[in-house]
A and B are shown apart, each in its own frame.
Chain A
C-alpha cells in the first residue's frame, strides 16, 4: 500500500442528474415518488397542514440549473413523512421534511435520506469516471453498515 486518503464529497450536479439520484436513493429506502400535478398538489397541501416540518440542506452541494429549472421539485413519501427536494436561493440542494413526529424524528428522516443521496451521487460519479479511464472494477460489495466497497485494478506501462 502506498497511501490512504479520506475525502469529503462535494455534490455539484445539474437538476436532472440530481433528481435521478434522489429517485434512486429514495426508492432504495422504500420511499415512493409523488408524481402528477394532482398528487403533488395534495401532498404539498398535506405537508402545509402537517404538525411539523423541518428545513435542511445537503452540505457541500450546488445544483446547477437553467432559469427554467429553478422551481423544480421532487417529492417523496413514506409512512406519513413527505420529503421535498428543491434548489434553494443559494443554489444548494435543500429538503423539507414534513409529517407527524417530533422535530428530531423528522430531522433523522431527512438526514438518512440526504446521506443516501450523497452516497448514491458519489457512487454514480466514481463509476462513471473509473469507466471513462478504463479502470476495471474487480469487486464490489455492500457491507453490513451500508458502506460500498469497490476494488479497482488497472495496468500501466
Chain B
C-alpha cells in the first residue's frame, strides 16, 4: 500500500494551501482537483520534481501450486 500525505493550511482569511506528498507523476493533480471541488477556486498550482517522475506501477505475482 502506498502512503499518501497532504498538509493543509487554512489561513486566517480562509485561503487554503495544500501540499500533496507521496505521488509520482500526475496522480497528485486528481487530489488537487478534489480539494478544488471541496474548497473553491484554484489560485495557483506549483508542480515539484516528483510530478515528472514516471508513474507508479503495481506488479502482482501469482504462483499456482498443484
Contact = CB atoms under 8 A, between A and B. Distances in A.
Contacts of B12: 115-116, 119, 145-147
Contacts of B45: 3-6
Given A6-B42, A118-B14, A152-B8, 4 more contacts: A6-B44, A147-B12, A155-B4, A157-B1
Interface string B6-45: 1111111111111111111001110010011011111111
B59 interface: no
Most buried by A among B3, B16, B22, B50: B16
B46 interface: yes
A5 B42 contact: yes
B10 A155 contact: no
Q: How many interface residues does chain B have, given as a range?
A: 35 or more
Interface string A115-128: 11011011101100
Interface of A: 1-10, 60, 115-116, 118-119, 121-123, 125-126, 129, 135, 145-157
Contact of A119 (B13, B38, B42): B13
A153 B4 CA distance: 6
B51 A2 contact: yes
Contact of A3 (B1, B40, B46, B58): B46
A57 B2 CA distance: 44
Nearest to B2: A156
B41 A4 contact: no
A125 B38 contact: yes
Contact of B19 (A4, A145, A156): A4
A6 B22 CA distance: 18
B20 A4 contact: yes
A36 to B, nearest CB: 31
Nearest to B16: A7
A150 to B, nearest CB: 4
